Amino acid sequence: MNEDNCIFCKIISKSETASILHEDEEIIIIKDKFPVAEHHILVIPKNHIPNARHLTQNHVNLIEKMNETGLNKMKELNADVQDLASGFNWPPLNTVNHLHQHFISPASSMSLFRKLIFTHKNFYFVNASYLLRRLKK
């Protein structure tokens, strides 16, 4: 999949509609189309980065910003951030080929199956601190 038929690029260019909760020059935050808990948002960089494997040290600031802005948005939505699942899909288990960070709360309300998918104990879902440690090496 390239940028031309990327759903997130279309949302960013406004040729596809989505529920946009935040937008600035680098990122947007949208509601997940298929929420797995009461609060489920996606933080998406405007640049088309296919997945977490394509990140380099140059992306450290971006990841930190995504994590911080997403967390603040969850607090603004009155989501319980003590009961939070947050992270990035790791290939090959990424459904959209445009980097995005999930924020899900309350994480404890997810079905067992969802919990298996959205947990950092799962190798295919990595949280921001793991990613940052990896990039800063």
Site residues for Zn ion, window 84-113 (CB under 5 A)? 89, 98
Q: Is 6 in the site for Zn ion (CB under 5 A)?
A: yes
Amino acid found at 11 = I
Q: Is 40 in the site for Zn ion (CB under 5 A)?
A: no
* Interior/surface letters 104-116, b for 16+ CB within 10 angstroms, e for the rest: bbbbeebeeebbe
Instruction: Select from 98, 90, 97, 86 the least CA-distant residue to 41.
Output: 86
Q: Residue 9 or 28: which CB sits closer to Zn ion?
A: 9
Least distance CB 6 / Zn ion (angstroms):
3
Among 11, 36, 39, 48, binds Zn ion (CB under 5 A): 48
Q: Residue 95 or 136: which CB sits closer to Zn ion?
A: 95
Q: Residue 48 or 59: which CB sits closer to Zn ion?
A: 48
Vertex 41, ends 47 and 108: CA angle to 5°?
Answer: 140
Least distance CB 89 / Zn ion (angstroms):
4
Identify the active-site residue in 98, 100, 102, 120: 102
Active site residue 59: no
Q: Cα dihedral sign for 91, 95, 99, 104?
A: negative
Q: Is 128 in the site for Zn ion (CB under 5 A)?
A: no
Q: Residue 15 or 136: which CB sits closer to Zn ion?
A: 15
Interacting stretch for Zn ion, rule CB under 5 A, among 45-53, 59-67, 70-78, 106-114? 45-53
Q: How many Å separate Cα 16 from the centre of its chain? A: 18
Cis preceding-peptide flag for 35 (omega within 30 of 0):
no
Q: Identify the helix (H) or strand (E) that includes residue 73.
A: helix 60-76
Catalytic residues: 102
